[in-house]
Amino acid sequence: MVDPRPVTAPRMSAAEEAAWVRLIAVTELLPGALDAQLLRDARLTHFEYRVLMVLADSENQTSGMTRLASHTNSTLPRLSHVVRRLEDRALVERFPCPEDRRATNARLTDAGRAVFAEAGPGHIETVRDFVLDALSPEQLDQLYAISGSLLGRLDPEGRMTATSCSRAPASV
């Protein structure tokens, strides 16, 4: 039998609800915008691009899968699936870690470097267009602080690299 009484849920203030609705819209729309550009220009999703970026920035363009998962804010199963797709395209190769044979490393291939280099300028232009250029320097500082506060709650153990990401000094 269905209870005919109205459901009363905890409420947000009008200001809280407005901020929440906007945050949800950004978190839902931004990934699609980033994916659309990268799929069009490089046949990569944003997450795949991020994997290539972390490898490109790693020593010898190689990373252990656990480190790669942390730097891409991912779980190992998700990362493994994506790296397999990148391997199928010969953009990444996996091999046993020489220091710990139980672990696996991933390395960027020459083809992966080429795709990453080709996709980079368009990706940066898209990030600037949708996010960075829409913000004043003060708002960029606020975005950094707000994101840090949220990540502190979402990742209290600090497993994801972004949680402990330090702000670089302003460029001159």
- The total number of structural domains in the chain stands at 1
Residue type, 24: I
Which CATH number does the domain housing residue 112 bear? 1.10.10.10
Is 161 within a domain?
no
Local structure of residue 147 (DSSP, 8 states)? H
The span from the CA of 123 to the CA of 141, in Å, is 22
Note the pLDDT of residue 10: 83
Is 124 within a domain?
no
Note the pLDDT of residue 172: 37
pLDDT tens sequence for the chain (172 residues): 777 777 777 889 999 999 999 999 999 999 999 999 999 999 999 999 999 999 999 999 999 999 999 999 999 999 999 999 999 999 999 999 988 888 999 999 999 999 999 999 999 999 999 999 999 999 999 999 999 999 999 989 888 878 777 776 554 3
The span from the CA of 136 to the CA of 120, in Å, is 23
Q: Which structural domain, as residue segments, surrounds residue 35?
A: 28-119
Tokens of 79: 């990362």
